[in-house]
């Protein structure tokens, strides 16, 4: 059984999280510049066994697509083409940035480090992954 990779796609930066091989623990992996994301994913997928890719689905409170869906949907389709052997799925990402900021604050991360948006993106991806793993049990 392969790992699960979660993606919190952003216009500038993308947070990435991955499960352990047994799919028990979600952990933040990396934040990469979005313009290099597909290249990064090709490299990672070539050297790691990943069979599921979870993409955060940007939706509004009422469940309708948010403005950023216009950026994320073409990326989602590109993943389907690029990694046909992987299961590529959407997962609701509502509140993940707020939850990530709260988790970082509660972890006692110094104020200057909390301003690091790359850290927030990576923690958001971890929350998306954890939520996906809990919902699919």
What's the pLDDT at 17?
Answer: 97
Strand partners, 8: 15
Nearest alpha-carbon partner for 6 in 98, 15, 36, 59: 15
Q: Which domains does the chain have, with CATH numbers?
A: 3-135 (3.30.420.140)
pTM reported for the whole predicted model = 0.87
Name the least confident of 42-46, 61-65, 113-117. 113-117
Q: Give the separation between CA 35 and CA 23, rounded to whole angstroms.
A: 28
Write out the H or E segment, with its range, that includes residue 8: strand 3-8
Taken as a whole, the chain contains a residue count of 137
Q: 85-113: per-residue pLDDT in tens?
A: 999 999 987 666 656 567 666 767 666 66
The rounded mean pLDDT for the chain is 87
Contact present, 29 and 18 (Cβ < 8 Å): yes
Residue 83 clears pLDDT 80, i.e. is over it = yes
Residue 35 clears pLDDT 60, i.e. is over it = yes
Q: 13-24: per-residue pLDDT in tens?
A: 999 999 999 999
Q: Give the separation between CA 115 and CA 118, rounded to whole angstroms.
A: 9
Q: Which residues contact 119 (CB under 8 A, 6 or more apart)?
A: 31, 104, 109, 113
């Amino acid at each position: 059984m392969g790992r699960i990779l979660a993606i919190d796609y952003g216009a500038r930066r993308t947070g990435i999280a991955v499960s352990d091989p047994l799919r028990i623990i979600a952990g933040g992996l990396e934040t990469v510049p979005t313009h290099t994301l597909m290249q990064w994913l090709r490299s990672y997928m070539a050297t790691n066994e990943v069979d599921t890719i979870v993409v955060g689905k940007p939706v509004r409170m009422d469940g309708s697509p948010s403005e950023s869906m216009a950026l994320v949907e073409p990326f989602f389709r590109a993943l389907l083409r690029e990694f046909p052997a992987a299961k590529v799925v959407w997962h609701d990402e509502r509140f993940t940035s707020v939850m990530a900021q709260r988790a970082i604050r509660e972890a006692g991360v110094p104020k200057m480090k909390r301003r690091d948006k790359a850290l927030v993106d990576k923690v958001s991806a971890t929350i998306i992954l954890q939520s996906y793993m809990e919902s699919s049990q």
